[in-house]
Amino acid sequence: MRKVFLMFSLILFSRKSETTEKRSLKDYFPSASEESAPPSATASPEVAESISRGARIYNNFCATCHLGSGQGIANAFPPLNKSDWLQQRRQESIKAVKHGLKGPIEVNGQEYNSVMTDLGLTDQEVADVMNYILTAWDNNIGPAVTVEEVAEL
pLDDT in tens, 57-96: 999 999 999 999 999 999 999 999 999 999 999 999 999 9
Q: Answer whether residue 20 is part of any domain.
A: no
Q: Answer whether residue 19 is part of any domain.
A: no
C-alpha of 26 from chain center: 15
CA dihedral 92, 124, 139, 29 (to 10 degrees): -110
In the prediction, which pLDDT does 9 show?
A: 37
Q: Answer whether residue 15 is part of any domain.
A: no
Provide the residue-wise pLDDT of the chain in tens; the chain has 153 residues.
Answer: 444 333 333 333 333 333 334 433 344 334 444 444 455 556 789 999 999 999 999 999 999 999 999 999 999 999 999 999 999 999 999 999 999 999 999 999 999 999 999 999 999 999 999 999 999 999 999 899 999 999 999
Q: Answer whether residue 123 is part of any domain.
A: yes
In the prediction, which pLDDT does 25 show?
A: 38
Residue 100 belongs to domain with CATH number? 1.10.760.10
Q: Which domain holds residue 61?
A: 25-32+43-151
Q: Answer whether residue 97 is part of any domain.
A: yes
CA dihedral 114, 119, 120, 123 (to 10 degrees): -90
Q: Answer whether residue 101 is part of any domain.
A: yes
Q: How many domains does the chain have?
A: 1
